[in-house]
Structure 1
Amino acid sequence: MKLLSEPLSAGNLKLSNRLVMPPMATAKSEDDGKASRKIIEYYDEKSKGGHIGLVIIEHSYISKEGKASSNQLSIADDSVIENLKKLSDVIHKNGSKAIMQINHAGSATSDKITGLSPVGPSAVSHPRNPNVVPKELAIEGINGIISSFASAAKRVKEAGFDGVEIHSAHGYLLNQFFSPISNKRSDEYGGNVLNRIKIHLQVIDAVKKAVGEDFTVLLRLGASDYMEGGTTIEDSIIAAREFQKVGVAALDISGGFCGYVKPDANEEGYFWPLTKAIKEQVSIPVILTGGITEAESAEKLLADGKADLIGVGRAILSDSDWAARAMGI
């Protein structure tokens, strides 16, 4: 049996194989963030045949101020649950497991999108959104965001998903707290790595209390900014150990402020130096994504011990039969 076809467990989540469809924004939601017929049909098409072990739904905003873009999926209030149930049902019917990714954009948005002033860990402009200088969050605001993550996770469970993924990558709010580029705080949320992940640990704790210990919680980590003064793999190893300690079932590794692309990357699975280093330090599964287009490359990355699960995004986006062919290699 090929490694890609082997089953794997992440916490209580039993996956039929090692292939993951990572979260990719479709901008197919209704204007109010509800799951549209288009979005349900899209995930139905991608998950047909159950060849993808795990489908992670695109990032969904936990509150109005955390919305990143137009027609982004919402998990911000109870009115979205009914349509999301239809979405989880269709993926399950096709034979795949389904997880929702929940997110707060922080300063990676604008008042044009949210109608509100963007917030962040510090009043520092976003490297990829330099025209926006966010309002620095007070402790009260941080507590409100932690509560919003917990409420969002509870809705994910009510909508019938198998788990939830907390988003701390690609320069969004939790990633902004993690990165020294955007986190200049002098209180308990700033400074060393443990302080910069304090909000993450509080979010994980609040989420687990909201959904119960049996519900699977993943975290997507922007493990390096690949920018001067940004987060490094050394920071991420410390963070990964802490996330494992508090019950995160798997780590989904990607870039920080560099987004989902590594500068000067020219190989499939270009984030593998990050996943390999983290995998050597934790016992929970590690997901690798980044430019993987060939099933043989996915197989080799697993065989070389660079990750436990392989995320294939753009290739599946452009070819709905990719997974079926990959499982036939």
Structure 2
Amino acid sequence: MSKLLNSLNTSKFNLPNRLVMPPMATSKAGVTGELTEDIIKYYDEKSKGGYIGLIIIEHSYVSKEGKANHNQLSISRDNDVEALKALAKTIQNNGSKAVMQINHAGGSTKEEVTGSLPEAPSAIENPYTKIVTKELSKEDIKKVIKDFAEAARRVKEAGFDAVEIHSAHGYLLNQFYSPIFNKRTDEYGGDILNRIRIHLEVIKAVKKAVGDDFPILLRLGALDYEEGGATLEDAKIAAKEFEKAGVDILDISGGYNRFMVPGFTEQGYFYPVTAELKKVVKIPIILTGGVVDANAAEQLLADEKADLIGVGRAILKDSDWAKKAIESLK
């Protein structure tokens, strides 16, 4: 029996199979972050037939200060909700579960996008933009937490099946997690428990906003693959804390090096990490990274490297990839 075709049932989630379309930015939103017909068409095409169990929408910004780039989707205003209902419904009517990913870009954005100096855990030169960022005060941190909670509430109101908190790819929450970006000396910096303090506060605020029955995913840039960066030990401690805090599914990707692992070419780039994290948590784990064929996905599940497999670029290039993959395994 195919592992990829197995359903996944948790107390809050029933997925028809183990295939996930991970979030990939389309840059198809309007200039003020509004939903466009192009985005609906794109997700309609990708979700046709319900072959993908779980579709996670591209990262959407929780506040103007957290906007990553022009034409990024917004979840920052109450008036975003009505339009987004059509997007959730389109995916669900095709037979897939729909999740919205919420994000704050932190120091990885630019003033020309947000209208203000990029804010980050510490006032350092951001390695991507080469801009010296503004250090968030404790009051600023409270606002960030509130912005995530409000965004999660809107995701639920728009009718999505779950919300995903983004802490990967060198964006704000991932910057707190990573010692490369986080040089703070207060309770939000230092050891791993301090560096994930903001995550635990965000999770708590999100849970309060959406209620206990609404599933919460968290995407973690687990390792930086860079000297002085986040380590596997950090990831294990963080994963256990996130599970305790009420995260329902962990979605593993990279940190400083984003969605790549330097020098790693096997399918499922992050499987050495997900395999280790599966030993310390009971919640399902999503593995992504370079998976391009169904047999590789099948093998990763059979070898217990993860519980769900994310296929991004292959589905991006070929909207029928999932259909062909699922049918080849039947």
Same fold by TM-score greater than 0.5: yes
Q: How high is the TM-score relative to the length of structure 2?
A: 0.98
The residue number in structure 2 matching 1:27 is 27
Distance 1:65 1:322 in 2: 36
The residue number in structure 2 matching 1:171 is 170
The residue number in structure 1 matching 2:156 is 157
The residue number in structure 2 matching 1:111 is 111
Partner AA of 1:182 in structure 2: F
Q: How does 1:3-152 map to 2 (within 5 A)?
A: 3-129=3-129, 131-152=130-151
Distance 1:247 1:132 in 2: 35
- Give the superposed CA RMSD: 0.7
Deviations, residues 251-290 of structure 1 (Å, cap 9, x unaligned): 0000001001111121110110011111111000000000
Look up the SS of the partner of 1:223 in the other structure: strand
Deviations, residues 44-102 of structure 1 (Å, cap 9, x unaligned): 00000000000000000000000001100100001111111000000010000000000
Q: How many residues align?
A: 328
Partner AA of 1:147 in structure 2: K
Find out whether 1:189 has 2:188 as its counterpart. Answer: yes
Distance 1:9 1:128 in 2: 39
Instruction: Select between 258-267 and 99-108 the one with higher mean Cα deviation.
Output: 258-267
Deviations, residues 153-182 of structure 1 (Å, cap 9, x unaligned): 000000000010000000000000000011
What is the CA distance between 1:11 and its match in structure 2? 4.6
Distance 2:72 2:264 in 1: 28
The residue number in structure 2 matching 1:224 is 223
Look up the SS of the partner of 1:287 in the other structure: strand
Look up the SS of the partner of 2:57 in the other structure: strand
The residue number in structure 2 matching 1:233 is 232
1:127–1:257 CA contact under 8 A, matched in 2 = no
Structure 1 stretches of 5 or more lacking a match? Answer: none
Partner AA of 2:187 in structure 1: E
Distance 2:325 2:174 in 1: 32
Distance 1:12 1:295 in 2: 27
The residue number in structure 2 matching 1:266 is 265
Distance 1:244 1:128 in 2: 31
Distance 2:147 2:191 in 1: 25
1:10–1:250 CA contact under 8 A, matched in 2 = no
Instruction: Select between 259-268 and 208-217 the one with higher mean Cα deviation.
Output: 259-268
Structure 1 stretches of 4+ moved >4 Å: none
Q: How does 1:287-306 map to 2 (within 5 A)?
A: 287-306=286-305
Look up the SS of the partner of 2:217 in the other structure: strand
The residue number in structure 2 matching 1:202 is 201
Structure 2 stretches of 5 or more lacking a match? Answer: none
Distance 1:251 1:11 in 2: 15
Distance 1:214 1:132 in 2: 41
Deviations, residues 10-57 of structure 1 (Å, cap 9, x unaligned): 450110000000000000011111110000000000000000000000
Find out whether 1:314 has 2:313 as its counterpart. Answer: yes
Distance 1:128 1:309 in 2: 30
Distance 1:234 1:47 in 2: 37
The residue number in structure 1 matching 2:284 is 285
Distance 2:312 2:176 in 1: 26
Distance 2:89 2:43 in 1: 11
Partner AA of 1:204 in structure 2: I
Distance 1:50 1:279 in 2: 27
Partner AA of 2:308 in structure 1: L
Distance 2:276 2:126 in 1: 27
Instruction: Indicate how the Cα distance of structure 1 residues 178 and 10 shifts in structure 2: closer, same or farther if over 3 A, else same.
Output: farther
What is the CA distance between 1:133 and its match in structure 2? 1.1
